[in-house]
Structure formats: structure tokens, C-alpha cells
Structure 1
Amino acid sequence: MTSPQTTVLLLGAGELGTAFLPHLSTLPNTHITIGIRSPPKYTHLQSANISLTAIDLSSPSPSLAKSFSAYDILISATGFGADPSSVLKLAEEALVAGKIRKEQWKGKLWFFPWQWGVDYDVIGDGQGMMPLFGAQRDVRNLLRQKAEASNVKWTVVSTGIFMSFLFEQFWGIVDRSKEEEGKVVVRCLIDWNHKVTVTDVNDIGRVLARVVAGDVEAEDRVLYIAGDTISYGQLVDIVKRVSGKQVEQEAWGLEHLKNELDSAPGDGIKKYRLVFARDGVWWEMSGTVNKALSMDMMDVETFAKSLFSR
């Protein structure tokens, strides 16, 4: 007898959501529905086992919960720009959806909240600077307290920052603005020994597919993955090796980062830099899911080589 099809609702079709699709779509007997506000803009993503549906995450309850309850797996890839209240609202809707499924004699809803980043249990709200991070921590606590009674199982996948982000000009860590002069500036947060965990978005999708396939114990827990965990000193060495440029170093210590934020208290990037100068932004590779699954991942040096060869 044929086993029932697994249905997945993927919220969001941005950089991360689209990176998930090639890997989730290869899972056997699985259909993925992408929930976005304007489906006509994303028809190019449709295939035999990928469809589109209109979902407005600002819709009042319980309309979202009713929509969510029709699926076995709910994956949030809504992006970093979410309002702090929206991530908690989404988790609450998922809990209601689980209860609806229970009333309909369906299995648990498996919920992957938007947690594709740092360790929010450790970093919290960044000492009051990052309400969104605090809301992410609150989502974890809510799920720990109420998911079981709500017919929901959950999995958080902590990825560190996206690898491409480490090299973005606006982030300021690898500054290529003087590249035509043969120079690259590499900066550190706090000191050169401070570390950061980074993962390429394609690799996040690869690991997610293995998790959904049941290749790792994932129910009601936080999983850690990493393409690489490096110190800023190691980042300097990598840029020196692959860029062929003169590399200048500049340390952004805690006092400098605080002063920068004081000069522009509303600047979100400066808030991020100060928060990333604290704990909760890196973990050892040895404790990651990808290490346990013996998966080869994109590391920083390989990514940097491709970047500087363009």
C-alpha cells in the first residue's frame, strides 16, 4: 500500500526559501506548497511537486492556523526583516493549527520556526538592543512550554549567519571598496580571537532535507549546523591567501562599537555589530548535525576563492 504523501508549507521565497526548494523537492512522496503574498510573481518556482498558495501572514487568527493545519510540516523562511511581534504570532498560530489537526485526528504538525541564525537562548535580546532576537528566544520558550499539549513538534536549526553576509560590503568586516587600489581591509569584532559561525544557504537546504527525511533525531530540540566556525584572525589569513591583495587589519573593539552606535542609535547594522561582538554567535564544528552526518559543507576559504575570482 502506498504511504500517504507528506505535505510541506514553506513560508517565504526569498534567498533562504528558494535555497530550500531544490533539496526538499527531491524527498520522495513529498509535495511542497510555497506560501507567499503574491503567487503570480513566483510561478517560475512551480513544478510537479511544488505549488503556490496566497498567504498573508498579517491575517488575523484563526485564518492562518486553519491554513497551516492542512499541512504536515510548516517551515518558516520569512526573513530577517520580520517585526518582533510577528515571529511570536506565527508560533502561536502554529500551536492553534496543531490543535485543529488533533481535532481532525491528524498527526502532529512539525514546525520549523524562523530561527536560521544565532543561538537566541544565549544571546537573548542583546541586552535590550535587538527586540527581534528577544522575540526569537520567546518563541523557543513558548514551544518548549506548549507544543506537546498542542499536538506540535518543533525543530530549531541554528545556522550562524549566512556565509555571504560575512563578505557583504555593508557589514564592513571584509571591505573591498579599495580593491582597485590593490587593498582589502579586514576588520574584527572585539578582537582577532573572537569567532563567528557561518553557513552557506545552499548547505542549510541540504541539511534541512536530511532532517526532514529523519536522518537525525530532531523532535523538540535545537540543532546546530555550521559550514565553518572561524576566528577573525583566521579570516584575515584566508583573505590574504585568496585575494592576492594587500590586506589591512582594523580592530573594532567593544568601546568602538558602542561609540559607533551612540553616534547613530537607530542604525540597525551598528546594533547587529555590537550584538555579534558577544556570545552566542559561534559553536564548535564537532557538535554540528552536518558533522554527525559526515556532510561536506562550503567553508569560508572556498567561498572566498569564488568571490575574489569574479
Structure 2
Amino acid sequence: MTSPQTTILLLGAGELGTAFLPHLSALPSTHITIGIRSPPKYTHLHSSNISLAAIDLSSPSPGLSQIFSAYNILISATGFGADPSSVLKLGEEALLAGKIRKEQGKGELWFFPWQWGVDYDVIGDGEGLMPLFGAQRDVRNLLRRKAEQSNVKWTVVSTGIFMSFLFEQFWGIVDRSKEAEGKVVVRCLRDWDHKVTVTDVNDIGRVLARIISGDVEAGDRVLYIAGDTISYGQLADIVKGVSGKQVEQEAWSVEHLKKELDLAPEDGINKYRLVFARDGVWWEMDRTVNKALSMDMMDVETFARSLFSR
């Protein structure tokens, strides 16, 4: 007797969504539908168990909830650029979809909201700097209040920032603009003992597949994963060890970051840097699902070694 097929609706096909696909599509008896605005742009992702559907997340209710209710699992990978109101709307639509499934005699809807980042319970809206982060916290609270009565199981997967983001030039933490001169600048947020949790997007997909497979208790809770948790001092040591360059260290204290924001109050990167100089952006490896599952993950040194060898 064949097991029933699990249907997954994956919202988004950006860096994270596409990293999920090989791991989700390898799950047995699973079909994935990628919900995006313009399917013709993503025909290269189509396969025997991956299909495409045109979904506009700005559509009025109850259209979205009706669509969502057709699936067993709903995963949001819509990206960091979302409007704060849209993430809360998506949570409300998921709850309504769960109710529709209950009326139809179907099982729970398992919802993975866009929470692939820091600990929004701790960081909140960053003292008003990050309305999107505040909305993420509100989604958590909404699910805690209403999910059970709405026939929805939810799982938040906190990942820290993406591994690649830590080394992006625009982020300014590992500055390779002087590399031709034999120099790399490494900067810290707050101080050199302050830490950051990072995870490679491919590893996020690997852990997500293990969660969906039932390898860890995941219902109605926040789970933590991490490829690495390091201090900025450790990051500087790693870059020194793998780059073969002279490494200059520059501290961006909270006071410095506040002054930078005062000079350019609408600069989103300045806001992010100040928020990431606070608490809620890191957790110990021993708390992570991947540690409990004994999974090998990409660490910062391995990623940096690969980056500087290109």
C-alpha cells in the first residue's frame, strides 16, 4: 500500500527557496508547488515532482487562504524585502486556510513562516528601527494565540543570518576592497566579543528536510539551527588565517553606529548594523537542532577558505 502524497506549497524562489528545492524534492512521496508571481521565469525549476503556480501574495482574502488550504505544508521563503504588513497578512491567511481544511475534513496545515533569521522574540522591532522585525515577532505571537484552534501546526526555524551575507561587501564586516593592495579590513559590531550566528542556505534546506521528515519534535515551537556561532574577534582570526592578506581590524561601537545612522537615517544597512549590534542575533551551538541530529554543517572557516581561494 503506497503512502499518501505530501503536498508542499513553497512561496518564493529566491536564494533560500531554490536552496530548499533539492532537499524537499528528495523527500519520499512529496510534491512541491512553487508559488511565484511569474512562473514563466522559473520553468528551469520544473521537474517530475516540482510544479509552478502563479500566486500573488498581495491578493485579497479569501483567495490566498483557499489556495493554501489545498496543501499539507506551507513554507514561506519570500525574502527580507517583504512589507511588514504582508508577513502578518500571510500568517492570518495561513490560519484561515487551516480552518478551511478543518471544514473539509482535512488534517492540519503545517506552516513555516518567514522567520529564517534572528530571534525576533528578543530583538523585537529593534527599538523602532526595524518594523519588519517587529512584524515577525507579531506573527509568532499570532500563531501562539490562534494556531491550535485554527487547525494549524507551526514551526519557526531561526537560522541567524545567511553565511554568505557575513562576507558581502555592502555589509562592510569583511571588506575586501583593498585586497589588490594585500589588505582586508574586518570590522566588528559593538565589540570584538559580540557574536553572530550564521548558516549556509544549503544547510538550512538540509535541516528543514529533516524537520519535515519528523526527525525532531517541531510542532508549535521555535527551533534554532546554526552553521556557526562566532565572535567578531574569532572572525578576524579566521580571515587572517585563510586570506593570506594583512588584516586590519576596525571596531564599530554602538555609539559609532548610532552616529552613522544619524547622518543617514533612511539608510537601511545602517539600521541593520545597529540592530545586529544588540542581543538576539546569536545562540550557542548546543541549542541547535543540527547539533541534536549530529549534522555536519558549513562553518565560517570553511566558507571563508573557499571564498578567498577563488
TM-score by length of 1: 1.00
1:49 corresponds to = 49
2:275 corresponds to = 275
1:133 corresponds to = 133
> 2: CA distance between counterparts of 1:168 and 1:287?
27
Write the letter of the residue equivalent to 1:100: I
> 2: CA distance between counterparts of 1:53 and 1:91?
20
> 2: CA distance between counterparts of 1:91 and 1:168?
31
1:90 corresponds to = 90
1:67 corresponds to = 67
How many residues are matched?
310
2:242 corresponds to = 242
1:301 corresponds to = 301
2:251 corresponds to = 251
TM-fit CA distance, 1:173? 0.2
Write the letter of the residue equivalent to 2:228: D
1:174 corresponds to = 174
Structure 1 unaligned blocks of 5 or more: none
Query: Cα deviation per residue 1:172-217 (whole Å; 9 max; x = unaligned)?
Result: 0000000000000000001000000000000000000000000000
1:11 corresponds to = 11
Query: Cα deviation per residue 1:97-141 (whole Å; 9 max; x = unaligned)?
Result: 000000000000000000000000000000010000000000000
> 1: CA distance between counterparts of 2:28 and 2:117?
28
1:104 corresponds to = 104
Residue 307 of structure 1 aligns to a residue whose secondary structure is: helix
Write the letter of the residue equivalent to 2:186: V
TM-fit CA distance, 1:2? 1.6
Alignment RMSD: 0.3
Structure 1 runs, 4 residues or longer, greater than 3 Å off? none
> 2: CA distance between counterparts of 1:160 and 1:232?
15
Write the letter of the residue equivalent to 2:151: N
Query: Cα deviation per residue 1:241-294 (whole Å; 9 max; x = unaligned)?
Result: 000000000000011000000000000000000000000000000110000000
Instruction: Confirm whether residue 32 of structure 1 aligns to residue 6 of structure 2.
Output: no
Residue 31 of structure 2 aligns to a residue whose secondary structure is: strand
1:121 corresponds to = 121
TM-fit CA distance, 1:143? 0.1
TM-fit CA distance, 1:56? 0.2
Residue 82 of structure 1 aligns to a residue whose secondary structure is: coil
> 1: CA distance between counterparts of 2:213 and 2:34?
19
> 2: CA distance between counterparts of 1:95 and 1:167?
37
> 2: CA distance between counterparts of 1:50 and 1:309?
35
TM-fit CA distance, 1:159? 0.1
1:205 corresponds to = 205
TM-fit CA distance, 1:3? 1.6
Identity among equivalent pairs (%): 88
> 2: CA distance between counterparts of 1:213 and 1:47?
21
1:284 corresponds to = 284
Write the letter of the residue equivalent to 1:41: K
Equivalence map 1:199-238=2 (5 Å): 199-238=199-238
> 2: CA distance between counterparts of 1:210 and 1:195?
27
Write the letter of the residue equivalent to 2:70: A
Query: Cα deviation per residue 1:12-68 (whole Å; 9 max; x = unaligned)?
Result: 000000000000000000000000000010000011100000000000000000000
Instruction: Confirm whether residue 161 of structure 1 aligns to residue 184 of structure 2.
Output: no
TM-fit CA distance, 1:233? 0.2
1:145 corresponds to = 145
